[in-house]
């Protein structure tokens, strides 16, 4: 049986009275594109930090590719690349110096071929000899990704990698990450951009208050929690809200599972005298699922 | 990928720490040399004709080993402590914590880089002091032993301060209320035999005194305390601080939450 890329068993982390992780059990299979979602303070970054050895869990066990992150930290860390959430950099060095140094920390010298390849894929070649201080925020974000990949880890964790990043870079980054995933790398992604998670992740865990409150394939989450949506702009918005809709600006939104329900909804609106001015039907989206899961948890 | 080597990790961290201070060598090497020379210029100008030490050593010559060692110690402390606090505050310490570097490699790299900076400054002060007075080294091995051990002791102290401090002003507390007074009161500018008996006794509880005095022995073959005693005290202090620092690193104190 193939080892999971990541295995988390009964992990808790307490900071005094605050329980940041309240008993997490999780397995991510090799080659998965896995999403870890949750509101701020849910414990996502704490879990990632525990996996990377940056935080010591109060109890429980974490493994990367079968290597315990505490007792066999050397092998575990060699197999893990982490793109941190904060835009941190060392102002003393150029991009290439930084990548060579990072490669050396992991025990690899003469790694320039791979470094050049990463620089090429992340469109960093023109900035290779620029000092980190001179780079824009987006460029610094790319360097963070490059640093996480410099030792060719089979498991890559991206902690909100597209926060504050322009559309062009975001698309380029996702192309590269999808290529890495296609090449066999396991990807774990945390993001607040739920449309990105929906488009990229095969499986998703949602966290709240240090617990996993939903864990399933993306398609199953979408089909089991919500539903598609009918948005209507009506003459009498209050009437539509009384029929169970939720306000969304000038629009009122209804969820539905079966297409036949649309006809019934429209008929009820007509009967109530809320003349429909415009309507739009939307597909199921992760944002609705997320809101629903967080509401129920 | 070839097999990863733990030794390369240590060597890279050492290289990075050396490169870090070398890239700003005007600030980290040249400026301390200039500071020490200003001390030498002023004190020798004021006191050289009035003070002789060890029955015949001119005061300016007496001053040189003390200033060389003081510069070495202060810069060794400054290097490891400032590197760590800067990395912690800017957050880039994460790049050292994510790789599989052992805590021993971490300790050795930070301490060695700091010792190297201290030695560079020390050599600079000694060479430039030749503009004022020639002070040949009578016992080079003693000089090397005290320079390396003293530098390692202060570098280790710098690692402790850098890990413990969360803000620059906390680090400045170490510098201003421990390192600077203990250095100034260690006999850099005087022989403790010129002090009243009580202060002579108190000076023997200052580990900096043994570093300065032992180092001065290597120049003149004379000192206030036996060089063997000084070597023993400095070695013991280093061993104790190194054990404490390794313990802090092994448990992840203030580095791994």
Residue A228 CB-half CA count within 13 A: 11
Which positions ≥6 away from A180 have C-beta within 8 Å? A149, A156, A187
Distance between CA atoms of B254 and B173, rounded to whole angstroms?
A: 18
Distance between CA atoms of B57 and A170, rounded to whole angstroms?
A: 71
From B3, B91, B257, residue closest to A86, measured CB to CB: B91
Instruction: Give the alpha-carbon dihedral of B91, B93, B98, B103, to 10 degrees.
Output: -150
What is residue A162's predicted lDDT score, i.e. its pLDDT? 82
Are A287 and A150 within one domain?
no
Residues in chain A closer than 8 A to B109 (CB atoms): none
A237: CATH: 3.30.70
Range of the domain at A87: 6-217
What is residue B8's predicted lDDT score, i.e. its pLDDT? 93
Are A199 and A286 within one domain?
no
| Interior angle at CA A125, CA A122 and CA A126, nearest 5 | 120
Residue A273 lies in a domain: yes
Residue A1 lies in a domain: no
CB contact under 8 A, B99 and A102: yes
Residues in chain B closer than 8 A to A151 (CB atoms): 1, 4, 99
Buried b (16+ CB within 10 A) or exposed e, B202-218: ebeebbbbbbbbbbbbb
**Max Cα-Cα span within chain A:** 75
Distance between CA atoms of A122 and A106, rounded to whole angstroms?
A: 21
Instruction: Give the alpha-carbon dihedral of B83, B84, B88, B93, to 10 degrees.
Output: 90
What is residue B44's predicted lDDT score, i.e. its pLDDT? 82
Distance between CA atoms of A292 and A294, rounded to whole angstroms?
A: 5
Instruction: Give the alpha-carbon dihedral of A288, A204, A206, A6, to 10 degrees.
Output: -170
What is residue A60's predicted lDDT score, i.e. its pLDDT? 97
Residue A49 lies in a domain: yes
Distance (Å) from the alpha carbon of B11 to chain A's nearest alpha carbon: 8
Distance (Å) from the alpha carbon of B51 to chain A's nearest alpha carbon: 46
Are A143 and A248 within one domain?
no
Q: What is the mean pLDDT of residues A147-176?
A: 89
Res. B214 pLDDT band, cuts 50 70 90: very high
Query: If you count them, how many residues does chain A have?
Result: 297
Are A233 and A172 within one domain?
no
Residues in chain A closer than 8 A to B16 (CB atoms): 93, 101, 104
Tell me which DSSP letter residue A88 carries: -
- Among B79, B97, B100, most A C-beta atoms within 10 A, so best to mutate, is B100
- Token pair, residue B250, equals 């092994």
The number of folded domains in chain A is: 2
Measuring CA to CA, which residue among A197, A122, A148, A150 is closest to residue A48? A148
Residue A155 lies in a domain: yes
Residues in chain A closer than 8 A to B256 (CB atoms): 53-56
From B5, B16, B24, residue closest to A101, measured CB to CB: B16
Are A159 and A269 within one domain?
no
Distance (Å) from the alpha carbon of A215 to chain B's nearest alpha carbon: 27
CB contact under 8 A, A102 and B252: no
Distance (Å) from the alpha carbon of B256 to chain A's nearest alpha carbon: 5
- Chain B residues with a Cβ under 8 Å from any Cβ in chain A: 1-9, 11-13, 15-16, 19-20, 23-24, 87, 90-92, 94-102, 252, 256-257
Q: Which of A18-22, A182-186, A192-196 has the lowest mean pLDDT?
A: A192-196
Q: What is the mean pLDDT of residues B155-177?
A: 95
A259-274 tens-digit pLDDT: 788 888 888 888 888 8
Residues in chain B closer than 8 A to A88 (CB atoms): 90-92, 94-95
Are A12 and A127 within one domain?
yes
H-type helices in A150-273, by residue range? 167-182, 194-200, 218-225, 237-242, 260-271
Are A18 and A141 within one domain?
yes
Are A115 and A260 within one domain?
no
Residues in chain B closer than 8 A to A159 (CB atoms): none
CB contact under 8 A, A101 and B99: no
Buried b (16+ CB within 10 A) or exposed e, A271-296: eeebeeeeeeeeebbbebbbebbbee
pLDDT top residue among A260 and A182: A182
Phi, then psi, of A36 in degrees rounded to 5:
-120, 110
The per-residue pLDDT of chain A, averaged, comes to 91
Provide the terminal-to-terminal Cα distance of chain A, rounded to the nearest Å: 34
What is residue A264's predicted lDDT score, i.e. its pLDDT? 87
Are A236 and A288 within one domain?
yes
Are A240 and A207 within one domain?
no
Distance between CA atoms of B83 and B21, rounded to whole angstroms?
A: 9
CB contact under 8 A, A108 and B95: no
What is residue B52's predicted lDDT score, i.e. its pLDDT? 67
The packing angle between helices B227-251 and B207-220, to 10°, is 130
Provide the terminal-to-terminal Cα distance of chain B, rounded to the nearest Å: 31
Alpha carbon of residue B22 to chain centroid: 17
The complex's ipTM works out to 0.89
| Residue A58: strand, helix, or coil | coil
Distance (Å) from the alpha carbon of A224 to chain B's nearest alpha carbon: 38
Res. B2 pLDDT band, cuts 50 70 90: low
What is residue B162's predicted lDDT score, i.e. its pLDDT? 97
Residue A188 lies in a domain: yes
Stated as kind and residue range, the H or E segment containing A102 is helix A95-105
Are A235 and A275 within one domain?
yes
> Which residue ranges make up each domain of chain B?
6-251
Alpha carbon of residue A264 to chain centroid: 37
- Among B12, B106, B252, most A C-beta atoms within 10 A, so best to mutate, is B12
A56: CATH: 3.40.50.300
CB contact under 8 A, A107 and B15: no
Rg, chain A, Cα only: 23
Residues in chain B closer than 8 A to A131 (CB atoms): none
User: Residue A61's CB: how many other CB atoms inside 10 A?
Assistant: 14
Has residue A226 got a pLDDT over 70? no
Question: Which of A217, A235, A250 lies at the terminal end of a domain, its last residue?
Answer: A217
CB contact under 8 A, A88 and B92: yes
What is residue B120's predicted lDDT score, i.e. its pLDDT? 98
Complete DSSP assignment for chain B = -PPP-HHHHHHHHHHHHHHHHHTTHIIIIIHHHHHHHHHHHHHHHHHTTT-EETTTEEHHHHHHHHHHHHHHHHHHHHHHHHHHHHHHHHSTTHHHHSS---HHHHHHHHHHHHHHHHHHHHHHHHHHHTTT-----S-HHHHHHHHHHHHHHHHHHHHHHHHH-SSHHHHHHHIIIIIHHHHHTTTSSS-GGGS-HHHHHHHTT-HHHHHHHHHHHHHHS--SS-HHHHHHHHHHHHHHHHHHHHHHHHHTTTT--
Distance between CA atoms of A217 and A188, rounded to whole angstroms?
A: 14
CB contact under 8 A, A75 and B100: yes
From B12, B23, B256, residue closest to A105, measured CB to CB: B12
Chain B contact present for A102, CB below 8 A: yes
Question: Which of A197, A217, A237 lies at the terminal end of a domain, its last residue?
Answer: A217
Stated as kind and residue range, the H or E segment containing A75 is helix A73-78
Residue A147 lies in a domain: yes
What is residue A235's predicted lDDT score, i.e. its pLDDT? 81
Are A286 and A140 within one domain?
no
CB contact under 8 A, A151 and B101: no
pLDDT top residue among B88 and A170: B88
pTM comes to 0.88
Distance (Å) from the alpha carbon of B85 to chain A's nearest alpha carbon: 13
Q: What is the mean pLDDT of residues B184-210?
A: 88
Chain B contact present for A85, CB below 8 A: no
Question: Which of A176, A200, A217 lies at the terminal end of a domain, its last residue?
Answer: A217
Q: Which of residues 38-77 of A touch B (CB under 8 A)?
A: 49, 52-56, 73-77
CB contact under 8 A, B4 and A151: yes
From B1, B11, B100, residue closest to A152, measured CB to CB: B1
Res. A192 pLDDT band, cuts 50 70 90: confident
Chain B contact present for A220, CB below 8 A: no
């Amino acid at each position: 049986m193939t080892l999971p890329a990541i295995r988390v068993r009964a992990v808790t982390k307490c900071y005094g009275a605050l329980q940041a992780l309240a008993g997490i059990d999780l397995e991510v299979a090799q080659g998965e594109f896995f999403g870890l979602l949750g509101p701020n303070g849910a414990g996502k970054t704490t879990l990632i930090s525990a996996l990377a050895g940056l935080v010591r869990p109060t109890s429980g066990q974490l493994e990367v590719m079968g290597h315990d992150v505490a007792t066999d930290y050397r092998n575990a860390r060699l197999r893990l690349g982490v793109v941190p959430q904060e835009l941190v950099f060392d102002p003393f060095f150029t991009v290439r110096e930084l990548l060579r140094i990072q490669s050396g920390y992991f025990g690899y010298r003469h790694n320039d071929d791979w470094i050049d390849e990463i620089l090429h894929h992340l469109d960093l070649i023109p900035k290779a000899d620029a000092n980190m201080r001179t780079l824009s925020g987006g460029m610094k974000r790319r360097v963070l990704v490059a640093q996480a990949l410099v030792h060719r880890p089979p498991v890559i964790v991206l902690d909100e990698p597209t926060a504050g990043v322009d559309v062009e870079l975001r698309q380029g980054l996702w192309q590269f990450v999808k290529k890495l995933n296609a090449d066999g790398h396991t990807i774990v992604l945390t993001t607040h951009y739920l449309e990105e998670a929906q488009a990229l992740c095969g499986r998703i865990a949602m966290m709240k208050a240090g617990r996993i409150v939903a864990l399933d394939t993306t398609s199953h989450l979408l089909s089991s929690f919500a539903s598609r949506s009918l948005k209507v702009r009506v003459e009498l918005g209050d009437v539509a809200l009384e029929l169970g809709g939720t306000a969304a600006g000038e629009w009122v939104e209804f969820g539905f599972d079966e297409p036949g329900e649309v006809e019934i909804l429209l008929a009820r609106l007509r009967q109530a005298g809320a003349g429909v001015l415009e309507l739009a039907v939307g597909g199921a989206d992760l944002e609705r699922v997320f809101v629903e899961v967080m509401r129920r948890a | 990928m070839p097999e990863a080597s733990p030794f390369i990790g240590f060597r890279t961290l050492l290289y990075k720490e050396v490169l870090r201070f070398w890239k700003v060598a005007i600030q980290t090497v040249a400026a301390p040399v200039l500071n020490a020379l200003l001390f030498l210029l002023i004190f020798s100008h004021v006191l050289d004709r009035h003070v002789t030490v060890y029955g015949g050593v001119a005061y300016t010559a007496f001053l040189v080993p003390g200033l060389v060692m003081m510069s070495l110690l202060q810069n060794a402390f400054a290097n490891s402590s400032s590197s760590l606090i800067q990395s912690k505050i800017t957050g880039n310490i994460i790049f050292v914590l994510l790789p599989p570097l052992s805590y021993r490699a971490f300790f050795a790299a930070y301490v060695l880089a700091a010792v190297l900076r201290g030695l560079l400054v020390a050599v600079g002060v000694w060479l430039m002091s030749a503009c004022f007075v020639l002070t040949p080294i009578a016992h080079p091995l003693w000089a090397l032993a005290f320079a390396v051990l003293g530098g390692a002791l202060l570098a280790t102290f710098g690692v402790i301060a850098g890990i413990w401090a969360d803000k620059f002003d906390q680090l400045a507390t170490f510098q201003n209320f421990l390192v600077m007074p203990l250095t100034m009161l260690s006999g850099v500018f005087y022989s403790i035999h010129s002090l009243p008996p009580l202060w002579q006794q108190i000076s023997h509880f200052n580990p900096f005194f043994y570093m300065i005095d032992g180092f001065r022995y290597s120049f003149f073959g004379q000192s206030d305390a036996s060089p063997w005693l000084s070597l023993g005290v400095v070695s013991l202090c280093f061993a104790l601080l190194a054990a404490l620092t390794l313990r802090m690193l092994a448990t992840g104190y203030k580095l791994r939450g």
